């Protein structure tokens, strides 16, 4: 097994970017486009104007955190690999770590918001637990797939 020291400078930025992008996907598609849930929809009904306002505020705060994660990830990436940007963006190492980060987003957000706090579920119907477990499973799959891609990718020289 090779030591992956040449990939370490982009591991943290990749994971943080993946967390932010995973959050954007969740918030944009599951909250807004498909309207499967909102941030507090299991605690505060979005079926009234005040309830929808609170859920919209929650969604906005959620998007703020994911946006900040993307900014932090980009800042870290830029500061670590300014001279080798083209190689880094085309590297499977970065994209693998980003997929890994997306998986961590799904897993942590799914456990905390769906299971522990119960503030919302992926899709609130008779099969709500199944939808939540599929979301958690996607997180585990993304984590493992991203890790495997990053570990098997051709090393990149960024120094």
The residue assigned the tokens 């051709």 is 154
pTM: 0.73
**Cα(112)–Cα(106) distance, integer angstroms:** 10
Residue 119 lies in a domain: yes
What would the pLDDT profile of 129-145 be if each residue is shown by its tens digit? 999 999 999 999 999 99
**Residue 82 gets which letter from DSSP?**
G
Residue 159 lies in a domain: no
Residue 49 lies in domain: 5-152
**Cα(118)–Cα(99) distance, integer angstroms:** 25
Residue 158 lies in a domain: no
How many domains would you assign to the chain?
A: 1
What would the pLDDT profile of 56-114 be if each residue is shown by its tens digit? 999 999 999 999 999 999 888 887 776 667 777 778 888 999 999 999 999 999 999 99
Residue 157 lies in a domain: no
Cβ-based neighbours of 143, under 8 Å, separated by 6 or more: 100, 103, 104, 107
Residue 37 lies in a domain: yes
Residue 123 lies in a domain: yes
């Amino acid at each position: 097994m090779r030591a992956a020291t040449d990939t370490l400078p982009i591991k943290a930025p990749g994971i943080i970017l993946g967390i932010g992008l995973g959050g954007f996907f969740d918030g944009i598609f599951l909250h807004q486009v498909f309207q499967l849930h909102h941030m507090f929809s299991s605690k505060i009904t979005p079926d009234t104007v005040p309830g929808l306002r609170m859920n919209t505020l929650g969604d906005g705060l959620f998007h703020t955190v994911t946006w900040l994660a993307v900014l932090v990830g980009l800042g870290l990436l830029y500061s670590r690999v300014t001279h080798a940007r083209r190689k880094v963006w085309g590297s499977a190492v970065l994209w693998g770590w980003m997929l890994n980060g997306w998986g961590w987003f799904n897993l942590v957000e799914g456990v905390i918001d769906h299971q522990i706090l119960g503030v919302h579920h992926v899709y609130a119907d008779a099969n709500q637990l199944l939808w939540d477990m599929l979301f958690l499973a996607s997180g585990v799959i993304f984590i493992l797939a991203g890790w495997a891609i990053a570990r098997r990718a051709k090393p990149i020289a960024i120094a």
